[in-house]
Structure 1
Amino acid sequence: MAMNPQNGEILAMVSWPSFDNNLFSGGIKTDEYQKLINNPDKPLFNRVIGGTYPSGSVAKFVVAAAALQEGIITAETSVLSVGGIYVGKWFFKDWKVGGHGRTNVFSAIASSVNTFFYYIGGGYKDFEGLGIERLTKYMRIFNLGEKTGIDLPGEDTGFVPSPDWKKQTKNEIWYIGDTYNLSIGQGDLLVTPLQVAEWTAAIANDGNLVTPHLNYQIEDPIKNINTTVNLPFKKTGIVSAETANTIRKAAQSCVTNGSCRLLTTLPFTSGGKTGTAQWSSTKDTHAWFTAFAPYENPKIVITVLIEEGGEGGIVSIPIARDWLMWWGKKYLTQ
């Protein structure tokens, strides 16, 4: 999906597999409707607003912003990634064997360094992290676990786990490992693609939450009224402009030096984040990518999710790149 990060206007929304809208124009036949509702791929289900998925690493925008805002880190803070961390007998790994070396917020987002987010999310040894209370607080500040308020039916809230929820539903205590998993967008966290676009927009527009909407204009030919829909920000200043700017720079580093390098083929600047979300021990990961462009004055956010697509940096980025290329030629050259 694509959205204007300055006002929440939905520019494009695609949920696949889809269906032929013409079937409904004159009253759909019973057998045709039964085929649609019995289709195991659920073509009538709008995955953009109603599908909930583990976010994987695209949530690192939110976690890094929270750590900056709370003073857990600065833009210069670094930790040493050696491939993962041990807590007792449990090992929480980086995706890169041997680690990434000395890592700050820019390289951590560019290369999706899990160790950095274990540190800033849950803390490690004498390094103070956010902890689960502040971590979930900022997730809710960024509107995770809540509807965005889009003017369409069927929106899901997603889900932000907590120690109380785990105790009540699983009769288990909350472990530091749960906080580590949440810090990298795994565990029981669930988000919609629209929510990912919404928090990407907040990073792009200096820390304001938009209300996504499809309605662009309201016309009343009888009263000769033509009104453009211009919704105010839902929340302003959820993080400081300085924090948002630091995350934007980190997102740009993902394009220039990290897993988003395919976007360097665009004729304009951008920032982004890949995500590869584990959700099953037997099935492929979900492939995420979210981005904004141009970097200097963002006019568009694009978020791509391919269910069971594999790696976001391989599968989802090409789709976003092609769409952004078309958009740039059509709108940035005017």
Structure 2
Amino acid sequence: MFFAILFFLTGSWLYYLQVIKGPFYSDLSFRNSIRLLNISAPRGNIYDRSGKLIAGNTLSFGVFIVPQEADDIDSEMENLSGILGVSKSLLERNYKRNKTASFAPCELIRGVSKKAAISIEESRFEMPGVLVKEIPFRNYYYKEVFSHVVGYTGEIGPLELELLKPYGYNIKDMIGKDGIERFCDRILRGKNGGMQVQVDNRGREVRVMSYRKPRSGKNVYLTFDAGLQKLVYNLFDGRKGAAIFMDPNNGEIFSLVSSPSYDPNESLAKAVRSEESPLLNRAIMGVYPPGSVFKLITAMAALETKSIRPDTGFVCLGKLNIGRDKFSCWNKDGHGYVDLEKAIAWSCNVYFYHAGLLTGAEKITEYANMFGLGRKTGIELFGESSGFVPSKEWKRQEKKQTWYPGDTANFSIGQGDMMVTPLQIAAVVASIANGGFLVRPHVLKPAGNVALTNLDTEELKVAKENIESIRRGMRKVIEDPDGTGNRAASGIVSVSAKTGTVQVGPGIRPHGWFVGFAPSVNPKICFAVFLENGGSGGDAAADIAKPAVEYWFRKKQ
């Protein structure tokens, strides 16, 4: 009787497993033999204005493991370590970090050479569950030259994923981390594809069940000229500073260099540790006193308020006493009788002390703000600084101090609490070069007929004759035998400029500015070059600007 009952129960259980639950287990077995593979979409390329490739994709390989298909994960990682020439602990760390489900391929490493990929494929029978996938690898063809503009890509982080998941981003996605790679990420990234493949009990692919083709990202074109960018970068020769060369009529940037730089093809660990701060984009993030280049703003404010006329003159004896304080000119012997054009050409401090005191700090602040100082330009790069324009009210509220005439004197020549970015100064120079329009500096060419950024210009409420007076002074900076920038005189094109030297502290080499435009009539390019501790602006900074401007006009001939 007992055996009869046991036989009945066993038979009933077998019937239940084979007949009633059979389809379920069959389906489960079938699903366990299906592998889901993600196919990365090729990222769009980045080109310069003439179609030279700046950033693109190179074929690379990644190694993955499907946990449920592996016989011995520990042993297989040991084998992979030997083939790849990497530590087993690295593979183990990546496995723990990237594993999601036993049936899902888990990334162990990427950037594997073709030779290593072939070796792994040849050893597949010894390492069931291990597979090699093609992964587009980002390549930056100009290395350090474009890094502060183009940026770099990296694996999406937890906080980024939380913000971007609603837009179709997933774990392990490669995204733009800085520069145009970040600003245009949704344009460049495309849409990943995928496929379902059936595999046998050794993890070998038997057939493709379904396939969704990846959609490549769109290409992006920059306003830059790769040749000019490379030349300017090389002219810095590793010295700290920044330079911008742009079209003063529409704000297109031909070159934007920050030095020193970093190679986005390599690990950023070294750059992060460097005391030279190569990750800092000095062109848009660095803030510095404008020094004597700010005299252009002081001149404009003084002319517009009728505090001076172009022919107004002052006598420079090498210093000016204001109250009990003495304010010096850089020329200790003095410049003698100076009008506006000579004051700009010779960068006479005493002239601008007088002009600033007659104009008043409030009006100088007003015109500095009008020309875009104290606020971001809106360039398509992240981390732009606003700079800072001081005022009487600010000093009273923040410092609990009174604004004195000496503050106005310092303010008039760009010293004191005033802070600007090199890009802001380039935009100021553009406004003078184009006859009084505030343009928006930008680095992206329109996509088709659609502008990727707002390129509206703003007409400044300044008299054309006052702009012309300042432009004549800037021309004399180069053409006057005693002009502070005459070493930048070119036999190829007429240049108008303004030099600036910023005192930093006792025993410390001053910062140098050299800004301007060319040709002097109907300008086609403007520039701002800044060198940290570069000495007089008419020297080292001018030596960067001159060959760059000459290169541009030789190319246009």
Q: Which residue of 2 aligns with 1:242?
A: 465
- Secondary structure class of the residue paired with 1:14: strand
Q: What are the ranges of 5 or more consecutive residues in structure 2 without an aligned counterpart? A: 1-243
Distance in 2 (alpha carbons) for counterparts of 1:301 and 1:108: 21
Q: Of the candidates 252, 255, 269, which is equivalent to residue 478 of structure 2?
A: 255
1:20 and 2:263 matched: yes
Q: Of the candidates 162, 171, 174, which is equivalent to residue 403 of structure 2?
A: 174
Alpha-carbon offset, residue 267 of structure 1: 1.3
Q: Deviations over 1:157-204 (max 9, x none)?
A: 100111222223322211111110010000110000001100000000
Alpha-carbon offset, residue 88 of structure 1: 2.7
Q: Which residue of 1 aligns with 2:222?
A: none
Q: Which residue of 2 aligns with 1:300?
A: 525
Q: Of the candidates 56, 75, 95, which is equivalent to residue 310 of structure 2?
A: 75
Q: Of the candidates 475, 487, 510, which is equivalent to residue 285 of structure 1?
A: 510
Distance in 2 (alpha carbons) for counterparts of 1:233 and 1:111: 35
Q: Which residue of 1 aligns with 2:278?
A: 43
Distance in 2 (alpha carbons) for counterparts of 1:133 and 1:237: 18
Query: Superposition RMSD on alpha carbons, in Å?
Result: 1.5
Alpha-carbon offset, residue 229 of structure 1: 6.6
Distance in 2 (alpha carbons) for counterparts of 1:215 and 1:56: 31
Deviates more, 1:233-242 or 1:44-53: 233-242
Distance in 2 (alpha carbons) for counterparts of 1:232 and 1:213: 8
Amino acid at match of 1:19: Y
Amino acid at match of 2:384: E
Task: Note the 1:116-155 alignment, pairs <5 A.
Answer: 116-122=351-357, 129-155=358-384
Amino acid at match of 2:496: G
Alpha-carbon offset, residue 237 of structure 1: 2.6
Q: Specify whether residues 141 and 278 from structure 1 end up closer, same or farther in structure 2 by C-alpha distance, changes over 3 A only.
A: same
Q: Deviations over 1:233-271 (max 9, x none)?
A: 432033222111111111001111111112323311110
Q: Which residue of 2 aligns with 1:125?
A: none
Distance in 1 (alpha carbons) for counterparts of 2:307 and 2:452: 39
- Secondary structure class of the residue paired with 1:15: strand
Distance in 2 (alpha carbons) for counterparts of 1:236 and 1:229: 22
Amino acid at match of 2:522: N
1:323 and 2:554 matched: no
Amino acid at match of 2:338: T
Check the 8 A contact 2:493/2:550 in 1, yes or no.
Answer: no
Alpha-carbon offset, residue 302 of structure 1: 1.2
Distance in 1 (alpha carbons) for counterparts of 2:343 and 2:336: 10
Question: Which one has a larger percent strand, Structure 1 or Structure 2?
Answer: 2
TM-score (norm 1): 0.90
Q: Which residue of 2 aligns with 1:191?
A: 420
Alpha-carbon offset, residue 131 of structure 1: 0.6
Q: Deviations over 1:78-98 (max 9, x none)?
A: 111111111232101111112
Alpha-carbon offset, residue 228 of structure 1: 6.1
1:110 and 2:335 matched: no
Distance in 1 (alpha carbons) for counterparts of 2:355 and 2:344: 13
Amino acid at match of 1:8: G
Distance in 1 (alpha carbons) for counterparts of 2:255 and 2:261: 14
Greater relative CO, 1 or 2 (CA 8 Å, sep 6+): 1
- Secondary structure class of the residue paired with 2:338: strand
Distance in 2 (alpha carbons) for counterparts of 1:216 and 1:121: 40
Check the 8 A contact 2:297/2:364 in 1, yes or no.
Answer: no
TM-score (norm 2): 0.55
Larger radius of gyration: 2
Distance in 2 (alpha carbons) for counterparts of 1:279 and 1:139: 22
- Secondary structure class of the residue paired with 1:291: strand
Distance in 2 (alpha carbons) for counterparts of 1:170 and 1:230: 38
Q: Deviations over 1:20-42 (max 9, x none)?
A: 1222xxxxxxxx32222121111
- % identical aligned pairs: 41
- Secondary structure class of the residue paired with 2:487: helix
Alpha-carbon offset, residue 143 of structure 1: 1.0
Distance in 2 (alpha carbons) for counterparts of 1:263 and 1:286: 18
Check the 8 A contact 1:206/1:240 in 2, yes or no.
Answer: no
Tell me the number of residue pairs that the alignment of Structure 1 and Structure 2 aligns. Answer: 312
Check the 8 A contact 2:335/2:348 in 1, yes or no.
Answer: yes
